[in-house]
Chains A and B, each alone.
Chain A
Amino acid sequence: MKIGRRSFLSFLLGGAAGTALSPLPWKMIDDSSIWTQMWPWTPVPEDGEASYVNSACTLCPGGCGITVRKIDNRAVKIEGMKGNPVNNGGLCILGLSGLQLLYGPTRVQTPLKRVGKRGQGRWEKISWKDALSEVAEILGDLREKGQSHTVGLISGSDRGTVHRLFERFLTAYGSPNLICTPSIIDSYEFTLHLMQGVQALPGFDFENADFILSFGSGIVDGWGSPVRMFRANSAWRDTGAKVIQIEPRLSNTAAKSDKWIPINPGTETALALGIAHVIIKESLYDAEFINNYSEGFEDWKRFVLGEYGPDSVATITRIDSTTIITLARSFGRASKPLAICGRGQGTTPGSLNECAAVHALNALVGNINKKGGIFAVAEPDYINWPEIEMDATAAAGMQKDRLDGAGSKKYPFSRYLMNRLPKAVNSGEKYPLKTLFVAGANPLYTMPDSRTVKKAFDKVPFVVSFSSYMDETAQNADLILPNHAYLERYEDIPTPAGMPKPVIGLSKPVVEPLFNTKHTGDVIISLAKALGGTIGNAFVWDSYDACLKETLGYKWQVMVEKGFWSYPDFFVQIHEESFDTVSGKFEFICKETGFMPQFKPVKIEGDKTNYPLLLIPYDSIRLANGVIGDPPFVMKSVDDTVLKGTDVFIELNPKTAREHGLREGQLAMLSTPVGQAKVKVHLFDGIMPGLVALPRGLGHTAYDEYLAGKGINFNELIGPVEDSVSGLDAAWGIRVKLAKA
């Protein structure tokens, strides 16, 4: 039989008919549609039991309460905790993205020991036992040689039990060099100490204020406790409260305010004093408070009336004198006015004069420790541990001067001066720093003048990082002892930034630790026990969790359930009892030190001829610029007028751009006395001519591919400027020159 064309076609035909009568095509259509709708490579969330865990966020000093939704053992969503006194259900973009930090690829999964050169990224996994005995051996050696004071520790926060364990450890060991990451809170604490004689945190009653005079504070850009500030800002729209934003750049806060007053940067103190001048001159101040509860007013009044008339202030600040007068009148006449300071997110302490001048405005209108005003909030006093017994070595070590000069003759009232540390290490004048621990901080990224900081780190023979993530500092450490990530550990968070009432948040484990990590508190306790003697004796607890539980006592159970402890019986002292100064009153001129708020321009680096422009940083809620870097979700939200690909944009007034012959999107070389960087130009009418603005939070070299290598780290371009009174970093900008690249 010959198979011809016809037979073959017939065969196909039969095949087609049979196929149509079989389920094959219909089933294939169905299956392929299911396949295309549910690509097998798309992750499908596991099904399981839903549960919620109340905890507190520790990604910034805001201390928001969080409620984490879990499916079985996996955390799937972070929400703001309803009913929490700080954020009541709200949460910021960084807090919402926190799971990417927990489950992301940047976690340090086990103790690591450096094998290559520093920063080369070559590590060897070691056991906790080996890691701890190595550290204990080095610490033991230094102590034996009488060099216990050459051990330093940089901590991210100066409150809470973990910080207190560090303090206790170093005291028992014999080193005064415990240093904390600075912020505007330090300047406020200093101000409260000088003017009110108290050791307290500033608390702002934004919810009840009706006129907010902000000297560059990024109310909706991440200042204070960010979510609380968003809510307050929204509430002001309903209550009709007025917000006046004073800063040289049209930030989001300025755009949302009732009035934006651009100011010659660095002259905010002069403006505050100019406002004080008008208030005093026109008798708009709270005479009852001034007469009964203040001291030194007459002298300061004479000084302010003499020096800061609206016309001279107008020349300094480049703000119209009528604007100054109107502003002063509306501030003085408002029923609950509140003046605040701290540029952007308040991550730099700024000049003490500025903080004190702004605080003096609050005093003038008598809203100290009053509804709608500023409170001096004493730290909740729940950490009551037994006295430390110090041996001779510890006592000798503690007698040594601090490397950063805090508490010295020059800066007797400062507690920590981190900005002075790199210089002290590099000069080696006092004594060398032989071992440095870094916990909850990322100084190699966050400290100004990165190059000098790096040089100082290179001089320290042994650097230990406690970071949960492979950040810049961890990358340059000799040993990483990874802490549990923030959703895996217990930690107390006393009084979030700017809260007018004491609150203790409890951060608690939402999930079991994913990796071979250890709580830093436990590491400290183990090290103390390994060193033994009086050091070991100072740590009576078996573990950090036991220590925290014991410390919190009866509060523990409530905090575990609710996630926070608030003080229902908190009341504000009456004015007669709330000032602990020499005079027992609010002191416009500090009797103890003679300090009074006045305008002394901060001498920023660079000369006008070589560096004709001024570079200022700006903060955004979408760019985390502290110890934590932006997780991928947050990175996605950054505008392409801020970052495009790996290029960061500077903001430039079109007029200034014309003078420099620069167009939108053009590449330019930015040089400051500290460093230089290639940037792109973005023309922006919202920035004063002669200024250049660069966002903070970019230019990471560590973390993941979504963050590393994008943009420029502002800290590479600026150096610290020491405040003459506090010693804290007062730099608000730096001179800069711009050239076509």
Chain B
Amino acid sequence: MSALDDNDKEITKNAGSDGVATSSTEIDKKEQDNRSAGPIILFFVIGLFASLILGWIIFPKLLYSKKKQPIDFNHVLHMAEVDNGCESCHFFREDGTYSGVPKLEQCIDCHEEIQGESPDEIKFVEEYVSKGREVPWLIYSRQPDCVFFSHVAHVKVAGMDCVTCHGHIGESERLKIYEENRITGYSRDIWGKSIGGFKKNTWDRMKMDDCAECHRKNTANIERTGIKTPTNRLIDHLVDVVSPGTSISDKGSSVQTEKDACFVCHK
């Protein structure tokens, strides 16, 4: 930190000598000081901007590799054909587990043979359907393996909308480029498109803070009756984890994971 101190001293000195009559030697010295102060500030600014550019623009480009989905799926086209919205293909199984991305089995009913002229459909039928291979879809919302998340608790119990977390994917005609984090191997959509972590919509990010944000907000609205629904209990835990001491609830175990504290959501 001595370099910083030196700079400070010199800057102060310069400021102090402004408008004061000085001897020639002093003038020389001042000129010398001016000459050296300029580049120092310049270099500071260069360093500052270079690192800001690196951090905000270059770093995200380096961090994520871009991958194309195997098939460019058109959600709009399919949404027009089904009756039950997202759940027509992204359905819940009988035991309440969530099926996620459809398997070939669901597609095969309609796509046994090529129907249209879309090159993607031709590719889909030829490369996957007729060969019986599953499509290696890249999943934008795949959470790390240590995260336990129950769709049924959110969608069926709490009545949430798919859009709240996943955005308007159902209205897309093309699949966007999948950006994979080179370090973790997970999708960019978890952290969010904004490298700074800023968001406008609820579906922009999927980090733990984003879970907590919603859970904290809703906890305040829930009238406490003393009876703990599974969701209620889950919310209490989450709040307790994020801001310990704010929750008025007692600790109990999660209905789904049968665990406490962090382990309600984390394996």
Q: Which A residues are within 8 Å of any B CB, using their own CB?
A: 1-4, 6-19, 21-24, 26-28, 30-32, 34-35, 37-38, 40, 44, 47, 49-50
Contacts and interface: CB of A to CB of B under 8 A. Distances in A.
A165 B246 CA distance: 72
Contacts of A3: 39, 43
A10 B44 CA distance: 5
Given A7-B39, A35-B184, A23 B197 contact: yes
Given A24-B55, A47-B100, A18 B184 contact: no
10 contacts: A7-B39, A14-B45, A14-B48, A17-B47, A18-B48, A19-B51, A21-B55, A22-B54, A24-B51, A31-B63
A32 B51 contact: no
A349 to B, nearest CB: 48
Interface residues of B, number: 41
Given A9-B3, A10-B40, 12 more contacts: A6-B3, A6-B7, A7-B43, A13-B4, A16-B51, A18-B47, A23-B55, A23-B196, A34-B144, A35-B183, A38-B144, A38-B184
Interface stretch (B18-26, B91-99, B233-241): B91-99
Contacts of B14: none
Given A6-B36, A32-B183, A35-B183, A14 B46 contact: yes
Interface in B70-129: 93, 95, 97, 99-100
Contact of B47 (A1, A10, A40): A10
Contacts of B223: none
A17 B184 contact: no
Sorted nearest first, the 9 A-B pairs with minimum C-beta distance are A22-B55, A14-B47, A18-B51, A14-B48, A15-B47, A14-B44, A24-B55, A11-B43, A11-B47
B144 A37 contact: yes
B137 interface: no
A8 B36 CA distance: 12
A30 B99 CA distance: 29
B184 A31 contact: yes
A25 to B, nearest CB: 8
Interface in B21-53: 36, 39-52
Interface of B: 3-4, 6-7, 36, 39-52, 54-56, 59, 63, 93, 95, 97, 99-100, 144-146, 181, 183-186, 191, 195-197
A239 to B, nearest CB: 33
* Majority DSSP secondary structure for residues of A touching B: helix
Contacts of A34: 144, 183-184, 186
Contact of B63 (A8, A11, A27): A27
A21 B49 CA distance: 10
Contacts of B196: 23
Contacts of A44: 145
Contact of B6 (A6, A8, A17): A6
Contacts of B45: 14
Given A6-B3, A10-B43, A18 B59 contact: no
A31 B144 CA distance: 11
Contacts of A15: 47-48, 50-51
A244 B95 CA distance: 48
B56 A23 contact: yes
Contact of B43 (A8, A26, A37): A8
Contact of A24 (B3, B54, B93): B54
A40 B99 CA distance: 24
Nearest to A24: B55
A19 B51 CA distance: 5
B46 A11 contact: yes
A9 B3 CA distance: 7
Nearest to A5: B3
Contacts of A8: 43
A22 B7 contact: no
A12 B47 contact: yes
Contacts of B44: 10-11, 13-14, 17
